Amino acid sequence: MTVFLKKKSTGETVYELGLTRTRRAYDLFDHVAVSFSGGKDSTVCLHLALAVAEERGRLPLDVFFFDEEAIHPETVEYMREVGQREDVRLRWYCLPVRHRNACSRKSPYWHSWAPEDREKWCRELPAEAITELAGFTRQPIPECNGLLFPKSLGSVGVIVGLRATESLRRYRVVARRVADNFIAQDAHAKHIQLVKPIYDWLTEDVWTAPKLFGWNYNRTYDVFQKTGMTRHQQRVCPPYGEEPLGGLYKYAICWPDLWEKMLARVPGAHCAAKYARTPLYAFGDVPSWDPGDDPKKLIARALAHWPETTRAKIAQRINVEIRNHYRKTREPIPAEHPGETGVTWKWLYMLAVRGDFKGRRTPVYTRDDAEATTRY
Protein backbone atom coordinates (compact mmCIF):
# COMPACT_ATOMS: atom_id res chain seq x y z
CA MET A 1 0.00 0.00 0.00
CA THR A 2 1.36 3.41 -0.98
CA VAL A 3 1.94 5.81 1.90
CA PHE A 4 1.63 9.54 1.28
CA LEU A 5 3.67 11.68 3.65
CA LYS A 6 2.18 14.69 5.38
CA LYS A 7 3.34 18.21 4.62
CA LYS A 8 5.85 19.67 7.05
CA SER A 9 6.95 23.27 7.48
CA THR A 10 10.71 23.89 7.45
CA GLY A 11 10.68 27.56 8.44
CA GLU A 12 12.30 28.51 5.12
CA THR A 13 10.72 30.49 2.30
CA VAL A 14 9.85 28.66 -0.91
CA TYR A 15 12.48 30.79 -2.66
CA GLU A 16 15.18 29.58 -0.26
CA LEU A 17 13.99 26.00 -0.70
CA GLY A 18 14.00 26.44 -4.48
CA LEU A 19 17.62 27.58 -4.41
CA THR A 20 18.59 24.72 -2.07
CA ARG A 21 17.04 22.14 -4.39
CA THR A 22 18.66 23.70 -7.44
CA ARG A 23 22.05 23.60 -5.70
CA ARG A 24 21.37 19.95 -4.93
CA ALA A 25 20.89 19.33 -8.65
CA TYR A 26 24.26 20.90 -9.39
CA ASP A 27 25.82 18.72 -6.67
CA LEU A 28 24.36 15.52 -8.07
CA PHE A 29 24.56 15.83 -11.85
CA ASP A 30 27.36 16.32 -14.35
CA HIS A 31 25.13 18.49 -16.53
CA VAL A 32 22.13 20.64 -15.62
CA ALA A 33 19.65 22.15 -18.09
CA VAL A 34 16.31 23.95 -17.90
CA SER A 35 13.24 22.86 -19.83
CA PHE A 36 11.72 26.23 -20.71
CA SER A 37 8.22 26.88 -22.05
CA GLY A 38 8.06 30.61 -21.48
CA GLY A 39 5.39 30.06 -18.83
CA LYS A 40 5.36 31.46 -15.31
CA ASP A 41 6.65 28.29 -13.63
CA SER A 42 9.55 27.73 -16.00
CA THR A 43 10.41 31.42 -15.67
CA VAL A 44 10.95 30.94 -11.93
CA CYS A 45 13.01 27.80 -12.59
CA LEU A 46 15.10 29.69 -15.13
CA HIS A 47 16.04 32.39 -12.61
CA LEU A 48 16.75 29.88 -9.82
CA ALA A 49 19.08 28.00 -12.15
CA LEU A 50 20.76 31.20 -13.34
CA ALA A 51 21.47 32.22 -9.74
CA VAL A 52 23.02 28.87 -8.84
CA ALA A 53 24.90 28.52 -12.13
CA GLU A 54 26.48 31.91 -11.47
CA GLU A 55 27.47 30.80 -7.96
CA ARG A 56 29.10 27.67 -9.36
CA GLY A 57 30.75 29.30 -12.36
CA ARG A 58 28.60 27.20 -14.69
CA LEU A 59 27.32 29.88 -17.07
CA PRO A 60 25.98 30.10 -19.73
CA LEU A 61 22.99 28.05 -18.68
CA ASP A 62 21.76 25.31 -21.03
CA VAL A 63 18.09 26.08 -21.80
CA PHE A 64 15.91 24.29 -24.34
CA PHE A 65 12.52 25.23 -25.74
CA PHE A 66 10.14 23.24 -27.93
CA ASP A 67 8.20 25.72 -30.05
CA GLU A 68 4.68 24.32 -30.43
CA GLU A 69 3.85 26.52 -33.45
CA ALA A 70 0.37 27.68 -32.36
CA ILE A 71 1.72 29.92 -29.62
CA HIS A 72 1.02 33.48 -28.55
CA PRO A 73 3.03 36.29 -30.16
CA GLU A 74 3.98 37.51 -26.67
CA THR A 75 5.52 34.09 -25.97
CA VAL A 76 7.66 34.39 -29.09
CA GLU A 77 8.81 37.86 -28.02
CA TYR A 78 9.63 36.70 -24.50
CA MET A 79 11.49 33.64 -25.75
CA ARG A 80 13.59 35.82 -28.06
CA GLU A 81 14.42 38.10 -25.14
CA VAL A 82 15.59 35.15 -23.03
CA GLY A 83 17.63 33.79 -25.92
CA GLN A 84 19.52 37.07 -26.25
CA ARG A 85 20.83 36.92 -22.67
CA GLU A 86 24.58 36.36 -22.45
CA ASP A 87 24.15 33.98 -19.51
CA VAL A 88 21.76 31.71 -21.46
CA ARG A 89 22.49 29.24 -24.25
CA LEU A 90 19.03 28.70 -25.74
CA ARG A 91 18.18 25.80 -28.03
CA TRP A 92 14.95 26.68 -29.88
CA TYR A 93 13.51 23.52 -31.43
CA CYS A 94 10.85 23.61 -34.15
CA LEU A 95 10.18 19.93 -34.79
CA PRO A 96 7.11 17.90 -35.79
CA VAL A 97 6.57 16.58 -32.26
CA ARG A 98 3.33 14.77 -31.55
CA HIS A 99 0.69 16.74 -29.66
CA ARG A 100 -2.74 15.85 -28.37
CA ASN A 101 -5.66 17.16 -30.43
CA ALA A 102 -8.60 16.95 -28.04
CA CYS A 103 -10.76 18.84 -30.55
CA SER A 104 -11.41 15.69 -32.56
CA ARG A 105 -11.96 12.02 -31.82
CA LYS A 106 -11.14 10.99 -35.39
CA SER A 107 -7.85 12.91 -35.40
CA PRO A 108 -6.62 12.74 -31.78
CA TYR A 109 -3.06 13.89 -32.60
CA TRP A 110 -1.35 16.62 -34.59
CA HIS A 111 2.30 17.45 -35.34
CA SER A 112 3.59 20.99 -35.03
CA TRP A 113 5.83 22.21 -37.84
CA ALA A 114 5.11 19.10 -39.92
CA PRO A 115 6.64 19.78 -43.37
CA GLU A 116 3.66 18.24 -45.15
CA ASP A 117 1.40 20.80 -43.45
CA ARG A 118 3.52 23.82 -44.29
CA GLU A 119 0.64 25.70 -45.94
CA LYS A 120 -1.33 25.31 -42.68
CA TRP A 121 1.37 26.51 -40.29
CA CYS A 122 0.13 29.12 -37.84
CA ARG A 123 3.30 31.19 -38.30
CA GLU A 124 6.59 31.17 -40.14
CA LEU A 125 9.64 29.48 -38.69
CA PRO A 126 11.57 31.80 -36.35
CA ALA A 127 15.12 32.68 -37.33
CA GLU A 128 16.42 30.82 -34.25
CA ALA A 129 14.69 27.55 -35.19
CA ILE A 130 16.54 24.24 -34.89
CA THR A 131 14.73 21.88 -37.25
CA GLU A 132 16.79 18.69 -36.91
CA LEU A 133 17.53 16.38 -33.99
CA ALA A 134 19.40 13.12 -34.39
CA GLY A 135 17.17 10.11 -33.70
CA PHE A 136 13.95 12.11 -33.70
CA THR A 137 10.90 10.10 -34.86
CA ARG A 138 7.98 12.47 -34.22
CA GLN A 139 7.57 11.43 -30.61
CA PRO A 140 5.99 13.62 -27.89
CA ILE A 141 8.21 16.20 -26.20
CA PRO A 142 8.78 14.24 -22.94
CA GLU A 143 10.30 11.40 -24.98
CA CYS A 144 12.96 13.66 -26.54
CA ASN A 145 15.20 14.20 -23.49
CA GLY A 146 17.40 11.25 -24.35
CA LEU A 147 18.03 12.77 -27.78
CA LEU A 148 18.83 16.21 -26.36
CA PHE A 149 21.37 14.90 -23.85
CA PRO A 150 23.66 12.11 -25.07
CA LYS A 151 25.17 9.75 -22.51
CA SER A 152 28.56 11.33 -23.15
CA LEU A 153 27.43 14.23 -20.94
CA GLY A 154 27.27 11.90 -17.96
CA SER A 155 24.39 12.23 -15.53
CA VAL A 156 21.90 14.95 -16.45
CA GLY A 157 19.43 16.89 -14.33
CA VAL A 158 16.65 18.59 -16.28
CA ILE A 159 14.92 21.33 -14.29
CA VAL A 160 11.19 21.47 -14.95
CA GLY A 161 8.53 23.83 -13.61
CA LEU A 162 6.09 21.24 -12.28
CA ARG A 163 4.10 22.08 -9.15
CA ALA A 164 2.12 19.73 -6.90
CA THR A 165 -0.89 22.06 -6.79
CA GLU A 166 -1.38 21.67 -10.56
CA SER A 167 -2.78 18.14 -10.26
CA LEU A 168 -3.28 15.28 -7.81
CA ARG A 169 -0.95 13.10 -9.87
CA ARG A 170 1.91 15.56 -9.43
CA TYR A 171 1.22 15.78 -5.70
CA ARG A 172 1.35 12.01 -5.32
CA VAL A 173 4.74 11.84 -7.01
CA VAL A 174 6.40 14.14 -4.48
CA ALA A 175 4.46 12.90 -1.45
CA ARG A 176 5.93 9.41 -1.46
CA ARG A 177 9.54 10.14 -0.44
CA VAL A 178 11.42 12.26 2.07
CA ALA A 179 14.91 12.46 0.58
CA ASP A 180 15.18 14.28 -2.76
CA ASN A 181 11.45 13.89 -3.37
CA PHE A 182 11.70 16.67 -5.94
CA ILE A 183 13.88 14.50 -8.22
CA ALA A 184 12.42 11.73 -10.36
CA GLN A 185 13.79 9.35 -12.96
CA ASP A 186 13.08 10.29 -16.58
CA ALA A 187 10.85 7.54 -17.95
CA HIS A 188 12.70 7.38 -21.27
CA ALA A 189 16.39 7.84 -20.42
CA LYS A 190 18.17 6.26 -17.44
CA HIS A 191 20.96 8.85 -17.29
CA ILE A 192 18.47 11.72 -16.94
CA GLN A 193 16.61 12.87 -13.83
CA LEU A 194 13.80 15.43 -13.71
CA VAL A 195 14.29 18.11 -11.05
CA LYS A 196 11.27 19.99 -9.67
CA PRO A 197 12.64 22.75 -7.41
CA ILE A 198 9.33 24.64 -7.09
CA TYR A 199 7.01 21.66 -6.61
CA ASP A 200 5.57 23.15 -3.40
CA TRP A 201 5.13 26.73 -4.65
CA LEU A 202 1.65 28.19 -4.84
CA THR A 203 0.45 30.29 -7.77
CA GLU A 204 0.75 33.32 -5.50
CA ASP A 205 4.41 32.50 -4.86
CA VAL A 206 5.11 32.16 -8.57
CA TRP A 207 3.73 35.64 -9.23
CA THR A 208 5.34 37.24 -6.18
CA ALA A 209 8.86 36.30 -7.28
CA PRO A 210 9.01 38.35 -10.55
CA LYS A 211 7.66 41.41 -8.76
CA LEU A 212 9.98 40.99 -5.78
CA PHE A 213 13.14 40.37 -7.81
CA GLY A 214 12.36 42.46 -10.89
CA TRP A 215 12.26 39.53 -13.33
CA ASN A 216 10.59 40.01 -16.67
CA TYR A 217 7.86 37.56 -17.65
CA ASN A 218 5.73 36.47 -20.59
CA ARG A 219 3.24 39.26 -21.36
CA THR A 220 0.71 36.69 -22.55
CA TYR A 221 -0.42 36.64 -18.93
CA ASP A 222 -1.33 40.33 -19.10
CA VAL A 223 -3.61 39.53 -22.03
CA PHE A 224 -5.16 36.66 -20.07
CA GLN A 225 -5.77 39.02 -17.18
CA LYS A 226 -7.71 41.42 -19.40
CA THR A 227 -10.11 38.63 -20.40
CA GLY A 228 -11.09 38.08 -16.77
CA MET A 229 -9.14 34.84 -16.26
CA THR A 230 -7.87 34.41 -12.72
CA ARG A 231 -4.19 33.85 -12.05
CA HIS A 232 -4.98 30.20 -11.31
CA GLN A 233 -6.62 29.71 -14.72
CA GLN A 234 -3.80 31.22 -16.77
CA ARG A 235 -1.50 28.71 -18.45
CA VAL A 236 0.84 28.96 -21.40
CA CYS A 237 0.44 25.56 -23.05
CA PRO A 238 -0.52 23.91 -26.36
CA PRO A 239 -4.01 25.19 -27.27
CA TYR A 240 -5.60 21.97 -28.50
CA GLY A 241 -4.86 19.72 -25.51
CA GLU A 242 -7.33 18.25 -23.03
CA GLU A 243 -6.72 20.76 -20.25
CA PRO A 244 -6.60 24.06 -22.23
CA LEU A 245 -9.50 23.11 -24.52
CA GLY A 246 -12.01 24.98 -22.37
CA GLY A 247 -10.20 28.26 -23.06
CA LEU A 248 -9.73 27.74 -26.78
CA TYR A 249 -12.34 30.35 -27.67
CA LYS A 250 -10.22 33.05 -26.02
CA TYR A 251 -7.76 32.90 -28.92
CA ALA A 252 -10.47 34.35 -31.15
CA ILE A 253 -10.87 37.25 -28.72
CA CYS A 254 -7.24 37.96 -27.93
CA TRP A 255 -5.33 36.95 -31.06
CA PRO A 256 -7.79 36.97 -34.01
CA ASP A 257 -5.07 36.76 -36.69
CA LEU A 258 -3.52 33.74 -35.02
CA TRP A 259 -6.93 32.20 -34.41
CA GLU A 260 -7.83 32.39 -38.10
CA LYS A 261 -4.88 30.12 -38.86
CA MET A 262 -5.49 27.89 -35.84
CA LEU A 263 -8.98 27.08 -37.11
CA ALA A 264 -7.54 25.38 -40.18
CA ARG A 265 -4.57 23.82 -38.40
CA VAL A 266 -6.29 20.82 -36.75
CA PRO A 267 -9.61 19.05 -37.34
CA GLY A 268 -12.37 20.03 -34.93
CA ALA A 269 -10.94 23.37 -33.78
CA HIS A 270 -14.01 25.39 -34.76
CA CYS A 271 -16.40 22.95 -33.05
CA ALA A 272 -14.27 22.79 -29.91
CA ALA A 273 -14.14 26.57 -29.64
CA LYS A 274 -17.94 26.58 -29.47
CA TYR A 275 -18.70 23.48 -27.46
CA ALA A 276 -15.59 22.53 -25.44
CA ARG A 277 -17.21 23.82 -22.24
CA THR A 278 -20.34 21.68 -22.67
CA PRO A 279 -21.22 18.02 -21.97
CA LEU A 280 -20.47 17.29 -25.64
CA TYR A 281 -16.79 17.31 -24.62
CA ALA A 282 -17.57 15.90 -21.15
CA PHE A 283 -17.00 19.30 -19.53
CA GLY A 284 -18.88 19.71 -16.26
CA ASP A 285 -21.16 16.82 -17.14
CA VAL A 286 -21.46 14.02 -19.68
CA PRO A 287 -23.96 13.61 -22.54
CA SER A 288 -26.87 11.18 -22.47
CA TRP A 289 -26.24 10.02 -18.92
CA ASP A 290 -29.02 8.24 -17.05
CA PRO A 291 -28.20 6.37 -13.82
CA GLY A 292 -30.71 3.71 -14.85
CA ASP A 293 -28.91 2.89 -18.10
CA ASP A 294 -26.36 0.11 -18.44
CA PRO A 295 -23.09 2.04 -17.94
CA LYS A 296 -21.03 -0.59 -19.75
CA LYS A 297 -23.13 -0.13 -22.88
CA LEU A 298 -22.77 3.65 -22.63
CA ILE A 299 -19.00 3.31 -22.32
CA ALA A 300 -18.82 0.89 -25.25
CA ARG A 301 -20.86 3.30 -27.37
CA ALA A 302 -18.58 6.19 -26.48
CA LEU A 303 -15.43 4.15 -27.20
CA ALA A 304 -16.78 3.21 -30.62
CA HIS A 305 -16.36 6.84 -31.74
CA TRP A 306 -12.57 6.65 -31.32
CA PRO A 307 -10.08 5.21 -33.84
CA GLU A 308 -9.13 1.63 -33.09
CA THR A 309 -5.67 2.27 -31.60
CA THR A 310 -6.95 5.14 -29.49
CA ARG A 311 -10.00 3.15 -28.41
CA ALA A 312 -7.77 0.40 -27.05
CA LYS A 313 -5.71 2.91 -25.10
CA ILE A 314 -8.73 4.51 -23.44
CA ALA A 315 -10.34 1.13 -22.73
CA GLN A 316 -7.15 -0.02 -21.04
CA ARG A 317 -7.18 3.07 -18.83
CA ILE A 318 -10.81 2.40 -17.82
CA ASN A 319 -10.04 -1.24 -17.03
CA VAL A 320 -7.09 -0.18 -14.85
CA GLU A 321 -9.37 2.10 -12.83
CA ILE A 322 -11.91 -0.70 -12.41
CA ARG A 323 -9.20 -3.09 -11.19
CA ASN A 324 -7.86 -0.45 -8.81
CA HIS A 325 -11.34 -0.03 -7.36
CA TYR A 326 -11.77 -3.75 -6.64
CA ARG A 327 -8.28 -4.02 -5.18
CA LYS A 328 -9.41 -1.59 -2.49
CA THR A 329 -12.96 -2.76 -1.87
CA ARG A 330 -15.49 -5.47 -2.70
CA GLU A 331 -18.27 -2.92 -2.95
CA PRO A 332 -19.69 -2.54 -6.47
CA ILE A 333 -18.82 0.58 -8.41
CA PRO A 334 -21.55 3.15 -7.72
CA ALA A 335 -23.38 4.90 -10.55
CA GLU A 336 -22.76 8.51 -9.54
CA HIS A 337 -21.89 9.17 -5.91
CA PRO A 338 -18.32 8.10 -5.04
CA GLY A 339 -17.56 5.74 -2.23
CA GLU A 340 -14.25 4.65 -0.79
CA THR A 341 -12.26 4.77 -4.06
CA GLY A 342 -13.87 7.76 -5.76
CA VAL A 343 -14.53 5.68 -8.89
CA THR A 344 -18.04 5.85 -10.35
CA TRP A 345 -19.56 4.60 -13.59
CA LYS A 346 -20.33 8.17 -14.53
CA TRP A 347 -16.67 9.12 -14.14
CA LEU A 348 -15.57 6.11 -16.20
CA TYR A 349 -18.06 7.13 -18.87
CA MET A 350 -16.52 10.60 -18.82
CA LEU A 351 -13.12 9.04 -19.55
CA ALA A 352 -14.62 7.21 -22.52
CA VAL A 353 -16.28 10.34 -23.92
CA ARG A 354 -13.44 12.74 -23.33
CA GLY A 355 -10.44 10.48 -23.60
CA ASP A 356 -7.58 10.82 -21.16
CA PHE A 357 -4.36 10.17 -23.02
CA LYS A 358 -2.06 11.44 -20.29
CA GLY A 359 -3.76 9.84 -17.32
CA ARG A 360 -4.42 13.19 -15.67
CA ARG A 361 -8.06 12.58 -14.78
CA THR A 362 -8.12 11.00 -11.36
CA PRO A 363 -11.16 10.01 -9.26
CA VAL A 364 -10.77 12.91 -6.86
CA TYR A 365 -13.72 13.59 -4.63
CA THR A 366 -14.64 15.50 -1.53
CA ARG A 367 -17.03 14.52 1.23
CA ASP A 368 -19.24 16.72 3.31
CA ASP A 369 -22.12 15.91 5.62
CA ALA A 370 -24.48 15.62 2.68
CA GLU A 371 -22.82 13.47 0.04
CA ALA A 372 -19.66 12.81 -1.91
CA THR A 373 -19.14 14.41 -5.31
CA THR A 374 -16.70 13.58 -8.05
CA ARG A 375 -14.69 16.37 -9.65
CA TYR A 376 -14.81 16.04 -13.44
CA atoms within 13 A of residue 191's CA, in its CB half-sphere = 15
Average of per-residue pLDDT across 64-88: 97
Average of per-residue pLDDT across 311-318: 92
Name residues whose C-beta falls within 8 Å of residue 85's C-beta, 6 or more positions apart in sequence. none
Confidence tier at 374 by pLDDT (50, 70, 90): very low
Q: State percent of the chain over pLDDT 70.
A: 88
Across the chain, which distance is largest between two alpha carbons, in Å? 67
Name residues whose C-beta falls within 8 Å of residue 177's C-beta, 6 or more positions apart in sequence. 5
Express each pLDDT in 199-211 by its tens digit: 999 999 999 999 9
Measured CA angle at 322 (ends 321, 323), to 5 deg: 90
- Domain ranges in the chain are 14-204, 295-374
Fold designation for 14-204:
Rossmann fold (3.40.50)
* Integer CA distances (angstroms), 326 to 210, 293, 329, 341, 361, in order: 47, 22, 5, 9, 19
Express each pLDDT in 87-141 by its tens digit: 999 999 999 999 999 999 899 999 999 999 999 999 999 999 999 999 999 999 9
Contact 176, 212 (CB under 8 A): no
pLDDT at residue 376 above 70? no
DSSP 284-304: SS-TT--TTS-HHHHHHHHHT
